[in-house]
Amino acid sequence: MSTVDASVEAAQAALAGEHACVYGYGVVGAHLPDDGVPARRALAAHRDRREALAAQLRAAGAEPVAAEPGYALPEPVSDESGARRLAATMEQRLAGLYADLVAAAATPELRELAARGVVTAAVDALTWGAAPVAFPGLDGRVG
């Protein structure tokens, strides 16, 4: 597989992760008090990153992967605690996808977007209650 192919594949995976987060934050927000303001902010940020990834893919000559009509949640969400766990899990998973993209990125612009994605997802995971890890996006994957 060429460097460009690997880069596109990793960018598509990160984009699919962003699609899943956009879906998931709708669920998260529905279970938070105060109209789910933190989830709405996260949703807007994920939409922005989703658009940035799609633009990078188009610039590479690839058609961005479309969102699925729905996504299976890792566990049922019925209250605020479950919503926070879901948000933390989504961010941790997304950090891994962005870490893969950092390694595979074929352009400095895509690598920068991916590196920012790892950092943002790691910080957001902590905000939602995830335990800190030494290497966000790589925890449990290196070995």
Domains of the chain: residue spans and CATH = 3-127 (1.20.1260.10)
Q: Is 39 within 8 Å of 124 (Cβ atoms)?
A: no
Give burial (CB, 10 Å; 0-12/13-18/19+) of 129: exposed
- pLDDT tens-place values along the chain, 143 residues long: 777 799 999 999 999 999 999 999 999 999 999 888 999 999 999 999 999 999 999 999 999 999 999 999 988 999 999 999 999 999 999 999 999 999 999 999 999 999 999 999 999 999 999 999 888 877 666 54
Write the DSSP string, 52-121. Answer: HHHHHHHHTT-PPPPPPS----SS---SHHHHHHHHHHHHHHHHHHHHHHHHH-SSHHHHHHHHHHHHHH
pTM: 0.93
What is the rounded distance in angstroms from the CA atom of residue 88 to the CA atom of residue 93?
A: 9
